[in-house]
Structure 1
Amino acid sequence: MSLSEIPPFSSQATDFISSTTVNLHHQLSKRNLYGFELNRAGNIIFLGLFTFIAVFNIIMVFRSKQVWYSVCFILGFVLEALGYLGRVLGFTNNSSMPFYILQSLCLTIAPAFIMAGIYFLFAQNVAVHGRKYSLLKPMWYSYFFIGTDVLSIFVQGAGGGMTSTASSNGKSTSLGNTIMFVGILIQIVAITFFLLFWFIFLGRTFFHDRHAVPGDNQYKKKSIGNYFKLLVNIPSARSYKLIQLDPFYNPQYQNIRYRALYSYYPLAVSLAVVLVYIRCVYRVVELKQGYSGYLMSHEIYLFVFDSLLIAETGLIFIPFHPMFVFGRDNVLTSKDIKNGVIPVTQEFIRCPEEEALDKEKDFSYAAQKREAFEARSQL
């Protein structure tokens, strides 16, 4: 072979670099974006669960008149279902960036919509009991907390979009992660204040009028133990609230408070908010560790500290859907809450304790009449 037949070194180097680049892109295109093999059973179960909750709320939007609550919960749980759809689609292609972005973005922002629906319930509860038990006007809670929730959604969405774009282009995702971190932090601060105002409100409904309650009763003592019993609604606490405390509440909405589920409603709302709160704290720690962190690289933590908690929140509000709690015709709109007028059904509902007292009075009255009749007969 002559020297003229030997390929120049520069040509060989160019071919080598080109071949290496092609192989590198080929390997990157096949990389597992999740960093582990997705658990098929867990992801399919949560996809089915969130789809069920979303379908339930879609059906209820046509049966009930709770528009704001229904829209928020539908958006929240549809996003949860879409997030897990992205993960299920990732079974066959775990290097697909669209599937990864779908699950990451949807699962991040979905709880913010759920909390927006819960925030409005606070204003409704204040209206049902009375303004005097609240630190703020009823609708102020909705304005403040829903406003911060919307801000949180935009910030998280912007951060998620930046992270997805950077990841697609092979660039650093640190800025997008930081923005998402700030968005979830805003949500945590909002929920913290919500819980503070919420538990103060409940405490006032339990103890504000205790000195005006006649007679002796163990629940007149302001203590953590009594607070817990009244919140959990054990039988004796329920009787105390319905017989002794209810006369101090807004009389216009007595029929709502006497509904069977309403006595347990504060407990249901409290549990749901605490579950979402724990989830948000988990997400902050997860983002702080980064994509290579321990939490994000182990799927079990996503299942336990995110999806399971949000699913439990959705399941709580199946039996405690506002339509079941307040009644189908007792719709508390923002206009009604502002004006202090809520259209309620005219049916007067008596609690079992009052019915028992009436029966006891009727029995005593009948006995007195019988004794009087017997006394006259002996004359």
Structure 2
Amino acid sequence: MDPITFPELVTRVTKADASFYGYTPNFAACVAFLVLFSLSTTVHLIQALIYRRNTWWLIVTAVLAGILEILGWSARLWSHKNPGLAAPYEMQLTCTILAPTPLLAANFSSLRSGFKDAAFRHLIERLGPAYSRLSPKWYTALFCSCDIISLVVQAVGGGSAATGVARGTDVETGGHIMLGGIAFQLVVITVYAACATEFFARYFTDRPVSARTPQRGVFTNKLKILSASLAFSTLCLFVRAVYRTIELADGWRGKIIQTEVYFNVLDAIMVVLSLYTFNLVHPGPLLKNSDPDTLPKEEEKTGSLYA
């Protein structure tokens, strides 16, 4: 009799025999997260279409992140009945590791400026670019570029690792690549948070980076809400990145990666909170320059900052 190859074996096993996860994905959790991500993604798409002139970037960030999570959790639901099947495991591994990356880009886009429409400006340009270590446009050029690099590295590593696990071949190379990508993302989030923190600290203490007299905008209630939402969303993604870094460093057969509750709480819930934050505190209506108090103090008469 010919020997059974690993791929043939995993298609024959039952729930009790083997699982790529080290556990069988919980049915209720899979359904719950699938519903949560589906609702949020649908609302994000509707909101992006309503404010499409100025928040089109949420389609390629928040909506894309939601779609990836839906695919990932659909695969985990599939794995509930077939935990030893390779295809859904590969799918969920790749999708869930990549999903938060475009969502992180939504945070970067909300902090920088760049909309051509004079009715919309982002936080830094509204409050005063002189208080920022980086120019508003550099937030997009630098952080979004780093985000794309992180996405590519994680995609390459995730695909390699998923294939290796499914075929019973080398997974260490793919795992190390994934670890490098997620660790790089963690560094990017940290630097981003540090730059944002310095900006707000300088704004509140009126200490511009340059000696030039700054154009100081009004920190309206709308901008306060938006700033708080960005901070909360970034914190959630930071927690998730820390978890994923520790998880991958612990190894494919480590306790962390084989404990479902860690994944559900420190990955899925963190992404849910970040996605719903953008649903509830949508940048579209908050950044509308329709109220007089949204103009900077020094520019209320001339409006030159928005010319």
| Identity fraction in percent | 25
Correspondence for 1:122? 111
Alignment of structure 1 residues 123-272 onto 2, 5 Å: 123=112, 124-208=122-206, 249-250=216-217, 257-258=219-220, 260-272=221-233
1:69 is displaced (CA, Å) by 2.9
Match of 1:44 among 31, 46, 63: 31
Q: 1:33 to 1:201 in 2, by over 3 A?
A: same
Correspondence for 1:348? 292
Q: Deviations over 1:66-87 (max 9, x none)?
A: 0113321111111111111110
Q: 1:24 to 1:302 in 2, by over 3 A?
A: closer
| SS class of match (2:253) | coil
Correspondence for 1:274? 235
Q: Of the two structures, which has the highest relative contact order with CA contacts closer than 8 Å and spacing of 6 or more?
A: 2
Structure 1 gaps of 5+ residues are 1-14, 211-246, 328-343, 352-379
1:264 is displaced (CA, Å) by 2.0
CA RMSD of aligned residues (A): 2.2
- Give the distance between the partners of 1:26 and 1:287, measured in 2 at CA: 27
- Give the distance between the partners of 1:24 and 1:325, measured in 2 at CA: 54
- Give the distance between the partners of 1:23 and 1:152, measured in 2 at CA: 34
Q: Is structure 2 residue 97 aligned with structure 1 residue 108?
A: yes
**Contact 2:237-2:271 at 8 Å conserved across structures:** yes
- Give the distance between the partners of 1:140 and 1:274, measured in 2 at CA: 22
**Contact 2:90-2:166 at 8 Å conserved across structures:** no
Q: How many residue pairs were aligned?
A: 274
1:125 is displaced (CA, Å) by 0.9
- Give the distance between the partners of 1:348 and 1:271, measured in 2 at CA: 28
Structure 1 residue identity aligned to 2:147: D
- Give the distance between the partners of 2:162 and 2:188, measured in 1 at CA: 26
Q: Is structure 2 residue 10 aligned with structure 1 residue 28?
A: yes
**Contact 2:24-2:79 at 8 Å conserved across structures:** no
**Contact 2:153-2:178 at 8 Å conserved across structures:** yes
Correspondence for 1:318? 279
Structure 2 residue identity aligned to 1:34: Y
Q: 1:105 to 1:321 in 2, by over 3 A?
A: same
| SS class of match (2:280) | coil
Structure 2 residue identity aligned to 1:120: S
Q: 1:325 to 1:165 in 2, by over 3 A?
A: same
1:28 is displaced (CA, Å) by 3.3
| SS class of match (1:171) | coil
| SS class of match (1:104) | helix
Correspondence for 2:41? 54
- Give the distance between the partners of 2:93 and 2:292, measured in 1 at CA: 49
Match of 2:253 among 292, 297, 310: 292
| SS class of match (1:91) | helix
| TM-score for the superposition, normalised by structure 1 | 0.68
- Give the distance between the partners of 1:206 and 1:22, measured in 2 at CA: 67
Correspondence for 1:85? 74
- Give the distance between the partners of 2:133 and 2:49, measured in 1 at CA: 34
- Give the distance between the partners of 1:112 and 1:25, measured in 2 at CA: 31
Q: 1:201 to 1:293 in 2, by over 3 A?
A: same
Q: 1:68 to 1:289 in 2, by over 3 A?
A: same
- Give the distance between the partners of 1:196 and 1:133, measured in 2 at CA: 13
Structure 1 residue identity aligned to 2:286: V
Q: 1:265 to 1:278 in 2, by over 3 A?
A: same
